[in-house]
Structure 1
Amino acid sequence: MKKVILLVVLSFLTSCVSVKKHNERREKPIPAEKLRNDVDFTYHQLQRLHPALYWYISKDSLDHKFDSVKTNINSPLKPNEFFQKLAPVIAKVKEGHLRLYPMEKRLTKKEIKFLKHQKGLLSRFNFVVDHDRIFVLDNAEKIANMDVGTEILKIKDIPVKQLLEKYKPFVNSDGLNNTFQKYSMSRRWPAFFTAEYGILDSVKLETKLNNQIKTFYLHREKMTKEEKKKEEQENKKLTKSETGKTKDYNIITKSFNRDLQFPTKDSTVAYMKIKTFSGTYSRRFYKQSFAKLRKSPAKYLVLDIRDNLGGSLYEINNLYSYLVSEKFQFIEDIQVTSRSSMFHADYLSEFSTITKPLAVIGYPLYAMVTMLSVKQKDDQFYLKNNGIFGIKNPKKNHFDGKIFVLINGSSFSASSIISSKLKGDQRAFLVGEETGGANDGTVAGRYSTQKLKNSRLTLPIGLMLIQPSIKFTNTKKGVIPDKEIVPTLAEILQKKDVQLDWVMQEIKKEQSEKSDQD
């Protein structure tokens, strides 16, 4: 209880630290000895809390890498210079959820207010990374010189290849998988760039389209009052509507998170797209959707979880109960490092500032439940797998037809777990690309966020080894599709969905064969 109260007080005091002081600390070199202490602290915390630290790398190899980074720190470094040395070592653990975060610049209230009325710079586009090249994938606002297919050659006169090579060591996937990196880099390289060069009002670009090279400045634009008002009204209308709630409308992507469609005239095929397992309104969506499916003539279900980075374990467990007809256990008992590891979870971060006092009062109950939930078996510690993740019955309106699942390298975490379970139980036919998350499980769930004492870098460590209840492949790879289809760069830029097209053709072929037999 004393520790929790102390955390609340420290959290309050930390929030009072001036922006100026934080940013000054960000630019101040730290003595080498203190940085080496941060390296030791990092490795100690990983060994104490991470339940599968040596799953993809041997202890001797990881010991050597941490020793090497310490040896190479022999002069003072700024926090983010230190980040560039330590982050690649942590990436060698090969756990996609495990990453070190740089020390970000804090903004003044005036700067925050100013940016609220700006449209952004690089964030206004979607990109695709192909090896060491970057292309514009989407330009919704039709900004000049940034047409779809435009290749970015240089940024601030720096070759794109040079930037990507610098950022590549910070990005990792689960295990020996190598399909995740290109998708992750496509999303994250603008953030790496901003962390390095700050929030810019404009940036010089050199681009290429149709063999024509252009050099120009991309400018941050101010959002007009009319645009702001229109956007707020549209978002408010959609999020308030029953459809918007059930489908979980995302005001950032301006799209629904979940959707169910019947793409064929005879409605014998259902298509369900899940962009993220956010958990929000998911129970209601699946209940309504599968009731609708039960009444429909649908014999095929296409479940599209491409580019779904995961989310709620509860949601995928619930979804699975609509896809099977027999009792099942969705995941194995969750492994942790010790009886006490869950006491280090970010308990207070799950509560708002207003509810934090109530959280402090309720901590003894949380602690007691946490303590009783741990069991020991063969010198290992597990969370008891009962309640929502015990043996479950299928839902009354479960789908009995054939299931195709669309996956790609950006299907990660919870998406990989449900894909692995569906494949392992031979309940679905998987089409697309090897998932970015591992077939045999991942370390995620609850986190313990460690703040490195001297550099002030942040390291969230997953506390729970979550594995689907299947026969493990032990390949250290992602979920391998039954039919591999990897779109080319040209197909991606032309928005050709070759994976979904293949599935629809396969269904059409099966229907034709059944018709001939009848």
Structure 2
Amino acid sequence: MFKKLLFSFIILLLLVSCASVEKHNQKITQLHSVAELHQDIDKLYTQLKRNHPHLYQFTSKETLDFKFDSLKQAINKPMDSRTFYKQLAAVTKYVGQGHMSLSPPSLRYTKKERKALNNTKFDVNNLDFEYLDNKLFVTNARENDTLLINAEVLLVENEKPQHLINKYKKVIASDGYNTTFHQRVAGNRFLGYYVKDKGRFDSISFKFRNADSTFVKQYKRVLKKDTTNVKKDSISTDSTLKKQKKIKLTKTEKKAKKLERKAKKKHNSKYGYIASRDEYTRNLNFVGKDSAVALLKIRGFSNNKYKDFYDETFKTLDSLKTEALIIDLRNNFGGRLREITYLYSYLTDENFVMINPSEVNTRTPVLKSMMSNTTPNSLKVLGGILAPVLATLEVFKTNKKDGKLYYNFKSSKEQEANPLNFKGKVYVLINGNSFSASSVLSTKLRGANRATFVGEETGGAFNGTVAGMYKIYETPNTKVRARIGLAHIDAPNKVSPDGYGIKPDVEIIPTYQDRLNNIDPELEWVLEDLEAKH
């Protein structure tokens, strides 16, 4: 009897799930009435006013009110969710906070469809793009596409990439009035914006120019190669294949293999290995004359453990008596506050405070984040159970001053300089994609006059950004999702005018020709400067 009830319950769940998927897909592809669209605009603006602590920092309330009202007046006929998303995002970008973003709804799939999708691969994901000199080109490629590196994209499905990127810039928000972020991120995340614009696709064609040749390459989503279903009979009868005996390892060999796997896992964790890209998040190399200059490349502050890496790095620099360190934060979109705080402890010889207490609109921002209308019900139940404990902990982390609420992250407490702190010359390489935590770190270094900055203005603002914790809100009718920052993160140092990034001491903008010639102009300038001062 119990088995029958359980089986019936599972069947019911599957039917409800399928119905839910069908209902969602129908909802996001249909035309929404003007009244529904206006309601979604009002609902989202209400959420912004309720949760965003610096909503009017860069655009006044009067101007932002006018833009939202104008959008409502302009929408006078039904439209689908994706079209609505583009118009709404073109208004919310004026909030001027790069972490505040909108996403159009995606089609949902049944369990069977998801399983089939997981058995496919789409090799277009092996391509990375960059946009320089009004050209979109392949800046990196993996597997079979390495020959495409530096190939210029002339057409994407018969559309010019310049036209597409100009369209994407209309919905990209940066911190304040910064413009370097728009072009950089549109190239770097080109495929992501393409999906937001067009929706999910299973094939795409590119027209490339590589050296003197022009050609079209088509990418399709295909089944992954499956070698597990090869029949045993075909193996035994194939004269070119021989059945291999499984090698039996001794106890000592098994132990050695286990230690090898453990060491590799530890190494990958320390350096932040990214399997899908076959690269590490954190690297230390030595460059320049006699390889005497340390080059610390950090692609992000979010991946795996980090303390062992920085401990090892600065121990190495100390033992080698290294006199110059280059920190490469180009295309570093940020990450953990605690990681940049730990790194900065190696770059100063004084006690320091990394960030100020963060302005918030609620004493319980973590709970606010957990109770978003996009949070699965199971997590909401868990949040409800833990609410008394979480609320108590959060209240102790908040305080009120001059009528405003402030949340205290660990990085807002005084920190000690690491005894092995680096005392030599520091250079920092930055560009428009240096964002969020990498900009906070740059602000701190600039405020302490600790580094020479080379490159272009960062995409992240000097005077801080609204991030740290987020509420993901979904509009009721069109299902457009908004990521709303809940905490203002800023370093103690400030500049005027507000709304711009960390500006370089030496501005150097790379060119497409630099990429073709395998030249890194920012790095080369630093090495030449060090040589001249030696």
Q: Same fold (TM over 0.5)?
A: yes
Alpha-carbon shift at residue 487 of structure 1 (Å): 0.6
Residue in structure 2 matched with residue 33 of structure 1 by the alignment: 35
Relative distance call for 1:358 and 1:155 in structure 2 (3 A) is closer
CA distance in 2, matches of 1:14, 1:277: 40
CA distance in 1, matches of 2:528, 2:279: 27
Residue in structure 2 matched with residue 167 of structure 1 by the alignment: 168
From 115, 124, 127, the counterpart of 1:125 = 127
Alpha-carbon shift at residue 433 of structure 1 (Å): 1.2
Relative distance call for 1:314 and 1:16 in structure 2 (3 A) is farther
Structure 1 segment 477-496 matched on structure 2, within 5 A: 477-496=500-519
Alpha-carbon shift at residue 427 of structure 1 (Å): 1.0
Query: Is residue 2:194 matched to residue 1:193?
Result: yes
Alpha-carbon shift at residue 210 of structure 1 (Å): 4.4
Question: Which 10-residue stretch deviates more, 50-59 or 208-217?
Answer: 208-217
Query: Is residue 2:152 matched to residue 1:151?
Result: yes
Query: Is residue 2:306 matched to residue 1:282?
Result: yes
CA distance in 1, matches of 2:20, 2:181: 38
Residue in structure 1 matched with residue 528 of structure 2 by the alignment: 505
Instruction: Give the 3-state SS of the residue equivalent to 2:399 in structure 1.
Output: strand
Relative distance call for 1:216 and 1:429 in structure 2 (3 A) is closer
Contact 2:129 2:189 in 1 (8 A): no
What code does the residue aligned with 1:450 have? Y
CA distance in 1, matches of 2:17, 2:312: 43
Provide the alpha-carbon RMSD of the alignment: 3.1
Instruction: Give the 3-state SS of the residue equivalent to 1:88 in structure 2.
Output: helix
Residue in structure 2 matched with residue 70 of structure 1 by the alignment: 72
Higher CA-based Rg:
2
Contact 1:131 1:182 in 2 (8 A): no
Residue in structure 1 matched with residue 273 of structure 2 by the alignment: 249
Residue in structure 2 matched with residue 305 of structure 1 by the alignment: 329
What code does the residue aligned with 1:483 have? V
CA distance in 2, matches of 1:269, 1:339: 47
Contact 1:127 1:136 in 2 (8 A): yes
CA distance in 2, matches of 1:37, 1:188: 31
Relative distance call for 1:105 and 1:447 in structure 2 (3 A) is same
Query: Is residue 2:285 matched to residue 1:261?
Result: yes
Post-superposition CA distance 1:212-271 (Å, at most 9, x none)? 5444534445443469xxxxx9xx969943221211111122111112223357564222
Alpha-carbon shift at residue 379 of structure 1 (Å): 2.1
Query: Is residue 2:399 matched to residue 1:397?
Result: no
Percent identity reads 34
Post-superposition CA distance 1:87-111 (Å, at most 9, x none)? 1101111211111110012234444
Structure 1 segment 103-502 matched on structure 2, within 5 A: 103-130=105-132, 133-143=135-145, 147-210=148-211, 212-215=213-216, 217-225=218-226, 240-263=264-287, 268-278=292-302, 280-339=304-363, 343-346=367-370, 360-384=384-408, 387-502=410-525
Instruction: Give the 3-state SS of the residue equivalent to 1:92 in structure 2.
Output: helix
* Number of equivalent positions: 491
Contact 2:122 2:219 in 1 (8 A): no
From 51, 57, 60, the counterpart of 1:58 = 60
Question: Which 10-residue stretch deviates more, 311-320 or 100-109?
Answer: 100-109
CA distance in 2, matches of 1:265, 1:17: 66
CA distance in 2, matches of 1:370, 1:61: 34
Relative distance call for 1:350 and 1:197 in structure 2 (3 A) is closer
Alpha-carbon shift at residue 86 of structure 1 (Å): 0.5
From 84, 100, 103, the counterpart of 1:101 = 103
Post-superposition CA distance 1:333-363 (Å, at most 9, x none)? 2111244555422369999999887655332
CA distance in 1, matches of 2:153, 2:309: 40
What code does the residue aligned with 1:510 have? K
What code does the residue aligned with 2:188 have? R
Contact 1:137 1:493 in 2 (8 A): no
Instruction: Give the 3-state SS of the residue equivalent to 2:317 in structure 1.
Output: helix
Alpha-carbon shift at residue 392 of structure 1 (Å): 1.4
What code does the residue aligned with 1:277 have? F
Post-superposition CA distance 1:62-96 (Å, at most 9, x none)? 11110011011122221112111101101111211
Instruction: Give the 3-state SS of the residue equivalent to 2:391 in structure 1.
Output: helix
Alpha-carbon shift at residue 38 of structure 1 (Å): 0.9
CA distance in 2, matches of 1:405, 1:143: 31
From 83, 91, 94, the counterpart of 1:92 = 94
CA distance in 1, matches of 2:277, 2:438: 19
Residue in structure 1 matched with residue 6 of structure 2 by the alignment: none
Alpha-carbon shift at residue 374 of structure 1 (Å): 2.0
Alpha-carbon shift at residue 479 of structure 1 (Å): 0.4
CA distance in 1, matches of 2:66, 2:15: 38
Post-superposition CA distance 1:17-58 (Å, at most 9, x none)? 633222121211111111101111111111111111111111
CA distance in 2, matches of 1:49, 1:57: 17
What code does the residue aligned with 1:302 have? I
Alpha-carbon shift at residue 147 of structure 1 (Å): 2.7
- Give the alignment's TM-score, normalised by structure 1: 0.86
CA distance in 2, matches of 1:295, 1:180: 38
Relative distance call for 1:318 and 1:104 in structure 2 (3 A) is same
Instruction: Give the 3-state SS of the residue equivalent to 2:148 in structure 1.
Output: coil
CA distance in 2, matches of 1:131, 1:264: 28
Relative distance call for 1:322 and 1:452 in structure 2 (3 A) is same
Instruction: Give the 3-state SS of the residue equivalent to 2:139 in structure 1.
Output: strand
Contact 2:374 2:473 in 1 (8 A): no
Relative distance call for 1:159 and 1:245 in structure 2 (3 A) is closer
Instruction: Give the 3-state SS of the residue equivalent to 2:165 in structure 1.
Output: helix
Instruction: Give the 3-state SS of the residue equivalent to 2:315 in structure 1.
Output: helix
CA distance in 2, matches of 1:90, 1:277: 27
Contact 1:239 1:245 in 2 (8 A): no
Alpha-carbon shift at residue 389 of structure 1 (Å): 2.5
What code does the residue aligned with 1:69 have? L
CA distance in 2, matches of 1:78, 1:319: 47
Alpha-carbon shift at residue 405 of structure 1 (Å): 1.0
Relative distance call for 1:432 and 1:195 in structure 2 (3 A) is closer
Relative distance call for 1:141 and 1:333 in structure 2 (3 A) is same
Relative distance call for 1:315 and 1:64 in structure 2 (3 A) is same
Post-superposition CA distance 1:141-172 (Å, at most 9, x none)? 3449x733333233333333332333221212
Relative distance call for 1:384 and 1:206 in structure 2 (3 A) is closer
CA distance in 1, matches of 2:185, 2:417: 35
Residue in structure 2 matched with residue 8 of structure 1 by the alignment: none
